[in-house]
Every structure is written in C-alpha cells, then in structure tokens.
Amino acid sequence: MKYSHLQSSNKWRYLLVVFLIAGVLASCAPPPSTPIPTATSTLIPITQTVAPPTLTPRPTSTPTLPTLGSEGNPIKIGFVLKPEDSAAIEASEDIAFLLAQDTGYAVENAIFPDFISLESAAINRDVDLFWLSPFEYLYLNSLGAAEAFLMTNHLGVYAYGVQFLANVNRGFTAYFDPSTQQAVGEFLPALQQFSGTRPCFISPNSLPGFYIPMGLLANTSTPTLDPVFTYSYNATIRALYIQGICDFGVSYALIGDPLNASDIVQNLPDAQSQIVTIWQSEGIIPNTNLSSSPSIPLPMRYRIEESILKLSAEPETLTLISTALAYDVSAIKAVDDSFYNPLRSAIAPLELDLEGITLQ
C-alpha cells in the first residue's frame, strides 16, 4: 500500500512537470504568420496600339527669295541654244555680263534646248527675259507670260511683209508701183482677183509663205484652189515662170526679193520682166523680240531697256546679240504689245492653234 501510494504520487509529479515544460515551449513559439498582401496589375495585351501623344506642329514660313537682281536671285535671260552652239552660248554669257556691269543688277544667261523648255520656264516665272519669234510671242502673250519691249532690226526693217507674184501673161492687174516699191490702189480688189485660182505657197508651216497670205485672202473673202507647196522661193519663181503649175505665188517682202537671187538671175535672166508683183503688204510680221516676264517690276524693266538700247549702239554688242541668236541684228528699238496688232489682224480669220504650231 505504501508502495502504491508512492508510485501514484510520482506519476502526478511527472505529469505536472510535462505540463509545465509544454507551457514554456508554447510561450516561446512565434505568433501565427499573417499573409502578405500581393499587388495586382492589369496587363495591356500586346496587340493593343497605344497612340502617341498629339503634337501641335510649329508653323513654318515659305522661304523668301532675295530681291530680284541681287546675287541670290539674278535676272535670267533665256536663249534657245543647243549644247554644241558654243560660240552662241559664250556670246549669251557676254551679253549677261555687259548688262550686269551697266545696270548693277546680277544677271545670268539661261540656256534652253528648245522652245518647249523655254515656254515652261516662262509660264512658271523661272526666266525673266527671253527672245521670241512672232508666233512664240503671240502664244506666250495670250497666256499672260510675256510682254514685248524691245524689237530687233533685221535686214533694215523691224517688221517685214509679203508680196503676191504672178506671170504677166496671166492677166492680173498689178496694184504695185515698182518705182516706189509701194502698193497702190485698194487692198480688196487687189487680192479678190485671185478668187478661184491656185496659189504656190512655200510650206504649211511658213509664216510669210503660207499663214500670212492665207490670212490676207481670208480677210478679203477670197477662196482659192488647193495650193501647191514648192518648199523654196526660187522654186515658186520657176513655177510661175513656166506656168501651168499655179496661177500666183507668194514670198517675203521688204527684206529682199527672191527675183534677185543669184540662181534666178543666172538661169532665168528674163524672170524679172516676166514675173511681177501684183500687191505687197506693209511690214506686218515683227522680227525677233526681247520679252519680259510680267513679274519684273516696271522700274527694273525700264532700267534694263535703257541699258540694252545704250549697249546696242556699240557694234560689238550687236555682234554678240547676232551670234547668240544666229540672226543678223543691225539695231534695236523699244516697242510695246501693239506692235503685233497688224499680225493679229492678218491671221485672225484662220483661228490658228498657236500652241500646236509653236510646240510642234
């Protein structure tokens, strides 16, 4: 009994010690951990395009050219020349140099291979001065791209005419005085006597040998038969001389006479008595002119005009101009657009396609 009691007492002591140790251990354990919050993010799918921020562009200004005639914006004089025309190109450079030296403006030549190129530059105001033949001028002037201000003298005249010729045996009445080299009498009956007859013209693109005679005949309501194109003035004289090919012919006037050509004088010595002038016009076909772009200020154009007129008084300058144009120039004078009115009147009934004629 004593042993049992002792054994029981030891058992309770053992349990008490175990509980005490468990309590101590429990007090030393770390508190339960709190879950750490995690950040959430929204991902943009890779197929989504994010627009860049809109930027307001800064205003830009159009560059302003320096004053015309200054080094940065020289006055350009246009010439239609081929690259192989070295003497003419050199002469055009000398003309620009002389003009720059006399006016104080910066001036340079501008070479164009054909009229089509020059026409484009004139319309776009990329060339300031340019030399033009009659139809070229009428075309560019109709577009508001050219204003004539100087005219060249060629073979003694600033504008030349046309003459109507026939064999004396044909029976036409002459309205021309050989002693004064002037037309006499009325213009209308002089040309209307050719009604219903056949002309000899030079070529379909000749100004004095086709367009002007056709315009004058149309102005007088004179119908004719289909023409014969001879392609040379000498051939026209020969056709009239032998007869049977055409009834009348045409040629230039005031700048010579095809009857005086060496070939005619030597081979048809009596042609001058057999072929006579029936009627002759005044100078209605202007020579080559110098035109300006309308964009050139008038005071500047007047200064250029004054300078060229002064320089052209020197034979050396006229030689340079003749070389650059491949066209004999013996003088220059000031003109305006009205100088072309007789030509406009002569061709008005034909209603010509000037663009097609000049650009072909």
Q: Is the pLDDT of residue 17 over 60?
A: no
Residue-level pLDDT at 61: 54
Cα of 306 vs its chain's centroid, Å: 25
Q: Is the pLDDT of residue 254 over 60?
A: yes
| Tokens 């020579």 -> residue | 287
Nearest to 291 by CA among 168, 107, 132: 132
64 confidence band (pLDDT: 50, 70, 90): confident
112, containing H or E segment = strand 107-112
Rg, the chain, Cα only: 48
14 confidence band (pLDDT: 50, 70, 90): very low
Q: Is the pLDDT of residue 27 over 70?
A: no
Strands 147-153 and 331-334: antiparallel
Helices (H) and strands (E) in the chain, counts: 13, 14
Strands 159-167 and 248-253: antiparallel
3 confidence band (pLDDT: 50, 70, 90): very low
CA–CA separation, 216 and 188 (whole Å): 10
CA–CA separation, 258 and 234 (whole Å): 7
59 confidence band (pLDDT: 50, 70, 90): low
Task: Give the mean model confidence (pLDDT) for residues 161-170.
Answer: 98
CA–CA separation, 326 and 221 (whole Å): 38
Q: Confirm whether 75-154+287-340 and 159-285 share one CATH topology.
A: yes
359 confidence band (pLDDT: 50, 70, 90): confident
Residue-level pLDDT at 223: 98
User: What mean pLDDT is reported for the chain?
Assistant: 87
142, containing H or E segment = helix 134-142
- Which residues on neighbouring strands pair with residue 154, listed in sequence order? 157
Contact indicator for 169, 243 with CB cutoff of 8 Å: yes
62 confidence band (pLDDT: 50, 70, 90): low
Query: What pLDDT digit, counting tens, does each position of 209-218 carry?
Result: 999 999 999 9
Q: List the domain boundaries for the chain.
A: 75-154+287-340, 159-285
- Which residues on neighbouring strands pair with residue 120, listed in sequence order? none
Give the pair of three-digit tokens for residue 217.
């005949």
Residue-level pLDDT at 216: 98
67, containing H or E segment = none
CATH, range 159-285: 3.40.190.10
Q: Is the pLDDT of residue 40 over 60?
A: no
Q: Which amino acid makes up residue 28?
A: C
Task: Give the mean model confidence (pLDDT) for residues 292-318.
Answer: 97
Single pTM value for the model: 0.81
Q: Is the pLDDT of residue 110 over 90?
A: yes
Give the pair of three-digit tokens for residue 3.
């042993």
CATH, range 75-154+287-340: 3.40.190.10
8 confidence band (pLDDT: 50, 70, 90): very low
Nearest to 288 by CA among 347, 339, 342, 357: 339
Q: Is the pLDDT of residue 9 over 90?
A: no
User: What DSSP letter does each residue of 257-296 carry, written as one string?
Assistant: -GGGSHHHHHH-TTHHHHEEEEEE--S-EE--EEEE-TTS
